[in-house]
Amino acid sequence: MIQERDTIIDLHAVGKGFRAADGTARPVLQDVDLRLAAGEIVALLGPSGSGKSTLLRILAGLVPADRGEVRYRGQPLHGPARGIAMVFQSFALFPWLTVQQNVELGLEARGVPQTERARRAAAAIALIGLGGFEGALPRELSGGMRQRVGIARALVVEPDVLLMDEAFSALDVLTGERLRDDILALWEGGQMPTQAMLVVSHNIEEAVLMADRVLVFAADPGRVRAELRIALPRPRDRDSVEVRMLIDQVYALMTAGASGTAHGPKHAVLAERLPSADVARMEGLLELLVEDDFQGRADLPRLADEAELTDHDLLPLTQGLSLLGLARLAEGDLLVTPLGRHYAGSARAGRQRMFGQQLLERVPLAAHIRHSLEQDPQGHIAEEHFLDLLRESLEDSEALRVLRQAIEWGRYGEVFEYDFRTGMIHLPAPDPVVAADG
């Protein structure tokens, strides 16, 4: 149990919402309780729309919570706190400033004298492994080096808490792993001024290798759904039995209740967040699943390795297969269904026919679009009509993503067509063979 005196950040019943197009408040976060104690690293995992990044921005003081309490060292947090710094995914460097100048920015904003700024910035740059690049411009640096500048800029203000919003995800795998390992080495060696870290990630292995606790968020609205404590000492061996077991546990927590079919389409909402799942990649995963090596059932970490997919790519594909009834998720494993076996063994035309049938039966948005088109005298409707419907429950960008996903699936299943030039969704043209027979 974390003692009150050890707590640096304390959130109680925190909520945050946004205004939909119709003016209705839509929750992003709801009843979030979280404590961050000195000496610990906490990782946040969750699907798109679970509010992880919004939570980090609340902690950084960049946006206020609508409800609940946010306390930093026992005091209510109103605006940015001097003891909290954030590292962004996008590097967020000023391209016309040198490495030294970028790192000094936070100190300059706090009124630190120039000589002291220069000394502290040089020390932070050396600490993060960029000594000798003080005069370089961001365009002269690799992606990994630019992110090191972002981390140095956060560390130079000597924060109690370092917030990291998918700080390694924009980097290639090897560069991200090297930077993460360097950060952990500084943390374990006591060289960082930071007393606690809160890390948003989409990489399950990364979370297990870094964190003392992993929090799994649910979406719509975002809230803590599960917590896993990790007592293994760092550095952790990714190939050890203990680490692989923990990764399996997190996969199981992440996919629990992700089938999307428990209540059937009658009880689903049109604005369900469809997973970002490409049809060809779903089919490739299904084909891999029915091969002799897996025999219809795959442990998700092993499947990710075999398919050479990141968690960020794999989980939406498994959710798409599950949503369409071609596979199901159970305790961190993916199991092919009888329909999925039949699908994998079928030719393209048969696959398209089954895909369309499952889409209409199990994805309410696709069924609604098809029904609306059938009722329209012209057989076509502007996409903006359906976007307005989705915007009643989703932010604009998410509404567009969900509709585009439904359109991609609908076109493959020959449920409806889409004209990119006009933005019109329309019924597919009649099959010429069927028309001739008629």
CATH of 279-344, one of 1.10.8.640, 3.40.640.10, 1.10.10.10, 2.60.40.1250: 1.10.10.10
Taking residues 323-343, report their average pLDDT: 91
Record the pTM.
0.77
Positive or negative torsion for Cα 180, 55, 257, 341? negative
What is the percentage of the chain residues whose pLDDT exceeds 90? 39
What tens digit of pLDDT does each residue of 197-229 get?
999 988 899 999 999 999 999 887 888 989 999
User: Distance between the two ends of the chain, CA-based, in angstroms?
Assistant: 73
Kindly report the CATH number that applies to the domain delimited by 4-255: 3.40.50.300
* Confidence tier at 296 by pLDDT (50, 70, 90): confident
Q: Is 434 left (phi over 0), alpha (psi -120 to 50) or beta?
A: alpha
**What is the pLDDT, as a whole number, of residue 368?**
92
127 contacts: CB under 8 Å, gap ≥ 6: 152, 155, 186, 191, 192
Six-digit token string for 219 = 């979406």
Mean pLDDT of the chain: 86
Highest mean pLDDT, choosing among 24-38, 266-280, 348-362:
348-362
Of the pLDDT bands very low, low, confident and very high (cuts 50, 70, 90), residue 233 is very high
How far is it, in rounded angstroms, from Cα 321 to Cα 335? Answer: 10
- pLDDT score of 148: 87
Predicted confidence at residue 267, as pLDDT, reads 33
- Picking from 319, 266, 306, the residue whose alpha carbon sits closest to that of residue 46 is 319
Per-residue pLDDT at 4 exceeds 70: no
Identify the pLDDT of residue 269: 63
Residues whose CB is less than 8 angstroms from the CB of residue 104 and which lie 6 or more positions away in sequence, other chains included = 117, 118, 121, 156
Strand order in the sheet with 67-72: 25-37, 7-19, 67-72, 75-76
Q: What is the pLDDT of residue 259?
A: 47
Task: Say how far apart CA 379 and CA 402 lie, in whole Å.
Answer: 22
Contacts of 396 (CB under 8 A, 6+ apart): 21
